[in-house]
Amino acid sequence: MFAGLHEAGMVLRLADEQRTEFLRLKDAKQFEPMPGRVMREYVVVPRALLNAPEQLRQWVEKSLIYVLSLPAKEKKGSGTRKKSKGAKK
């Protein structure tokens, strides 16, 4: 996920260097979906940037490029769950 919407606003996923630069923007902050649960790579887009489409587009593109550069996640199992030792057969 490179971007999304949350009750906190629009969020972007950025690389370390870009995130540091982004957080210098007025009213920019790290994304914290729950108190004390900061999602390290994600930032909340300030309202002023939402009203500046060209600047916002640049940040969204940076986010997309960063996420596309990440290695693919390994697929989890086939979707079947193993039964616990105490479960009935």
What is the residue-level pLDDT of the chain in tens, covering all 89 positions?
Answer: 899 888 878 999 999 999 999 999 999 999 988 888 999 899 999 999 999 999 999 999 999 999 999 888 888 776 666 655 655 55
| Residue 31 in domain | yes
Q: Please check whether residue 10 lies inside any domain of the structure.
A: yes
Q: Helices (DSSP H) in the chain: which residue ranges?
A: 16-22, 47-50, 53-69
Instruction: Note whether residue 85 is domain-resident.
Output: no
Asked if residue 13 is part of any domain, the answer here is yes
Is 78 within a domain?
no
CA 57-39-4 angle, to 5 degrees, is 35
pTM for the full predicted model: 0.75
Q: Is residue 80 part of a domain?
A: no
Report whether 38 contacts 32 (CB < 8 A): yes
Domain limits at 48? 3-69
| Residue type (1 letter), 89 | K
Phi, psi torsion values for 13, nearest 5 degrees: -105, 125
